[in-house]
Amino acid sequence: MRNLVKYVGIGLLVVGLAACDNSDSKKPVQGAAAESNTNGQPVTLLDGKLSFSLPADMTDQSGKLGTQSNNMHVYSDATGQKAVIVIVGDNTTEELSALTKRLEEQQRSRDPQLQVVTNKSIELKGQKLQQLDSIISAKGQTAWSSVVLGKVDDKLLTIQVTLPADNQQQAQTTAENIINTIVVK
SS (H, E, C) 146-184: EEEEEEECCEEEEEEEEEECCCHHHHHHHHHHHHCCCEE
CB 114 within 8 A of CB 122: no
Start-end of H helices in the chain? 2-19, 32-38, 96-110, 168-179
CATH number for position 142: 3.40.1000.10
Q: What is the pLDDT along the chain (185 residues), one digit of tens a residue?
A: 454 444 455 554 444 434 444 343 333 333 333 333 446 899 999 999 999 999 999 999 887 754 445 688 999 999 989 999 999 999 989 999 999 999 999 999 999 889 999 999 999 988 999 999 999 988 788 999 999 999 998 899 999 999 999 999 999 999 999 999 999 99
Tell me how far CA of residue 138 lies from CA of 31, 63, 183, in angstroms. 28, 26, 31
The answer to the question of residue 87 being in a domain is: yes
Residue 63 lies in a domain: yes
- Look at the chain and report how many structural domains it folds into: 1
Kindly calculate the radius of gyration of the chain based on its CA atoms and give it in whole angstroms: 15
Tell me how long the chain is: 185
Q: Is residue 80 part of a domain?
A: yes
Domain limits for position 117: 2-18+55-184
In a domain, 27, yes or no: no
Euclidean distance between the first and the last CA atom of the chain, given in angstroms as a whole number: 22
pLDDT given for residue 157 in this prediction: 95
Question: Is 34 domain-assigned?
Answer: no
Query: Is 175 within the bounds of a domain?
Result: yes
Q: For residue 23, is it within any domain? A: no
- The per-residue pLDDT for 65 is 57
Maximal C-alpha separation, the chain: 46
Q: Does residue 45 fall inside a structural domain? A: no
Which residues lie below 8 Å from residue 66, measured CB to CB, with a gap of 6+?
Answer: none
